[in-house]
């Protein structure tokens, strides 16, 4: 079965539009997303452009703050502090990857957990892992959303996650565990990867290699 | 193969004694552990007594703060704040389980992540899950320590963890993943538990049921 992801996304945006409209009525304020974009890495440019476009469509204020790839870590940290303190900014997103001189861990830790829309801050990661309320990374959350379009009740299913990145594989595993799946996390060091995958009721490929998963 | 846990523990305490002695020389201060114990639940009494005894043995100041089982949440939160601010307290441990009127999540969140010796604070859970430096819960850490006594290189091994509690199963899975194991997390909703377990190179029973794992 093939899910039409674009159709589902459009449907979701319609739902969000209504939800945001209610928030605006209630709070008399417009939610605002601030994106920090460093350098000119082409995929990042595309991601950020889509975030801007979709924010606009659902009625969120969107602001992109651009820096050259030579920006200092201090400058980014200063900007994050400013955004943390700015009441008009509801969400902050620093587009990854970062240039070498900017430490990813430091940057992620500097974002207020309450504004960390990517869900990468340790507080959000920890809350997700502990089963508490948290902001969840968008890719695994979207993936779970699509899986549940096909099968609502995942309890007891054997889910195999390919990849253990902090951005995708690990939060994906946490979400599937929360759905009461038996979860196997596989990665580059896994032996008998094919065999592990064949045991899966649900197989999630969360690695950046196209066509890694084949028919068999 | 059977590991003599008591012998390993004694050996570890000897090592810790030396390490703490070095810390004392360097900082001219004695590390201090404060334990909050509520009510008279027998296993908790034993755990805390052992923590006191072992702290003494390795040269740590140990203080047990006792409350009746009717204590209010506010009172415990006030005490935690006081301990967070007290420079002579290096570690804080609130012995679980808690009475009904005291919210576990609130209590754990109130402890400074830097003093959270149990490693239950979302910041520590998140840092562990993200592969960053963190305080790790003692039971899974001790378990990994014992596993590595038998087999130093766990890379590529298939580890099956029975149980997904925040205290044991989940951090155990994170630690094994960090060791490059392929990790399967099983729990009460898992189908074919026996079959899942039989595939394991390493099987960790992290559930409170004695003799759940049998020869087969």
pLDDT bucket at B62, cuts 50 / 70 / 90: very high
Closest to B68 in 3D by CA, of B111, B102, B105, B109? B102
Average pLDDT for A132-139? 94
- Domain A5-22+31-128 -> CATH class: alpha beta
Architecture of domain A139-205: 3-Layer(aba) Sandwich (3.40)
The CATH code of the domain at B136-205 is: 3.40.50.720
Query: What are the angstrom distances between the C-alpha of A15 and each of A18, B23, B38?
Result: 5, 57, 47
* pTM of the predicted model as reported, rounded to 2 decimal places: 0.90
The answer to whether residue A136 scores a pLDDT higher than 90 is: yes
Cβ-defined contact of A123 to B127 (cutoff 8 Å): no
Q: What is the pLDDT of residue B3?
A: 82
CATH number for B32-128: choose from 3.30.930.10, 3.20.20.80, 3.30.70.270, 3.40.50.10860.
Answer: 3.40.50.10860
Residue boundaries of the structural domains of chain A = 5-22+31-128, 139-205
- B118 catalytic? Reply is yes
Cβ-defined contact of A182 to B182 (cutoff 8 Å): no
- B28 catalytic? Reply is no
Cβ-defined contact of B131 to A105 (cutoff 8 Å): no
**What would you report as the CA-atom Rg of chain A, rounded to the nearest whole angstrom?**
19
| Residue, of B205 and A67, whose pLDDT is higher | A67
pLDDT bucket at A5, cuts 50 / 70 / 90: confident
The answer to whether residue B87 scores a pLDDT higher than 80 is: yes
Query: What are the angstrom distances between the C-alpha of A3 and each of A9, A73, A108, A151?
Result: 11, 41, 33, 12
Q: What is the pLDDT of residue B207?
A: 78
pLDDT bucket at B170, cuts 50 / 70 / 90: very high
Report the gap between the CA of A183 and the closest CA in chain B (Å): 5
Q: Are A34 and A52 in contact (CB under 8 A)?
A: no
Average pLDDT for B73-94? 97
Q: Does A178 touch chain B (CB under 8 A)?
A: no
Q: What is the pLDDT of residue B169?
A: 95
Q: What is the pLDDT of residues B125-149, one digit of tens each?
A: 999 999 889 999 999 999 999 999 9
The answer to whether residue A216 scores a pLDDT higher than 90 is: no
Report the gap between the CA of A181 and the closest CA in chain B (Å): 7
Residue from B109, B121, B129, B132 to probe the interface with A (highest A Cβ count within 10 Å): B129
Domains B32-128 and B136-205 share a fold: yes
Q: What is the pLDDT of residue A207?
A: 78
Catalytic residue among A115, A116, A118, A174: A118
DSSP state of B35: E
Cβ-based contacts of A177 with chain B (< 8 Å): 164, 170, 185, 187
Query: What are the angstrom distances between the C-alpha of B109 and each of A34, A214, B173, B215?
Result: 28, 44, 22, 41
Largest Cα span, chain B? 56
The answer to whether residue B210 scores a pLDDT higher than 80 is: no
Q: What H or E segment, with its residue span, contains residue A162?
A: strand A158-162
The answer to whether residue A20 scores a pLDDT higher than 90 is: yes
Residue of chain B whose alpha carbon sits nearest to that of A180: B189
Q: What is the pLDDT of residue A72?
A: 97
Catalytic residue among B79, B115, B116, B118: B118
Report the gap between the CA of A27 and the closest CA in chain B (Å): 27
Cβ-based contacts of A161 with chain B (< 8 Å): none
Q: Say how many CA atoms lie within 13 Å of A196 toward its Cβ.
A: 31
Residue from A134, A185, A187 to probe the interface with B (highest B Cβ count within 10 Å): A185
pLDDT bucket at A57, cuts 50 / 70 / 90: very high
Residue among B122, B131, B184 minimizing CB distance to A123: B122
Closest to A55 in 3D by CA, of A31, A26, A85, A38? A31
- A85 catalytic? Reply is no
The answer to whether residue B41 scores a pLDDT higher than 80 is: yes
Average pLDDT for B184-201? 92
Cβ-based contacts of A123 with chain B (< 8 Å): 122-123, 126
Q: What is the pLDDT of residues A141-198, one digit of tens each?
A: 999 999 999 999 999 999 999 999 999 999 999 999 999 999 999 999 999 899 999 9
């Amino acid at each position: 079965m093939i899910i039409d992801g674009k159709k589902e996304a459009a449907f979701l945006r319609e739902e969000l539009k209504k939800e945001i409209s209610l928030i605006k009525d209630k709070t008399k304020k417009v939610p605002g997303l601030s994106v920090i974009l460093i350098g000119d890495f082409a995929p990042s440019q595309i991601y950020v452009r889509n975030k801007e476009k979709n924010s606009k469509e659902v009625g969120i204020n969107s602001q992109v703050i651009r820096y050259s790839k030579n920006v200092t870590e201090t400058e980014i940290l200063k900007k994050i502090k400013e955004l943390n303190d700015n009441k008009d900014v509801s969400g902050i997103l620093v587009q990854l990857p970062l240039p070498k001189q900017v430490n990813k861990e430091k940057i992620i830790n500097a974002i207020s957990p309450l504004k960390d829309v990517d869900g990468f801050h340790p507080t959000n990661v920890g809350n997700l892992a502990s089963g508490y309320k948290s902001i969840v990374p968008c890719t695994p959350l979207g993936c779970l959303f699509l899986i549940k379009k096909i099968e609502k009740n995942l309890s007891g299913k054997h889910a195999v996650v390919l990849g253990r990145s902090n951005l995708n594989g690990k939060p994906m595993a946490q979400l599937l565990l929360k759905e009461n799946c038996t979860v196997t996390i596989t990665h580059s060091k896994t032996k008998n990867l094919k065999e592990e995958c064949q045991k899966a009721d649900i197989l999630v490929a969360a690695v950046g290699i196209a066509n890694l998963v084949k028919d068999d």
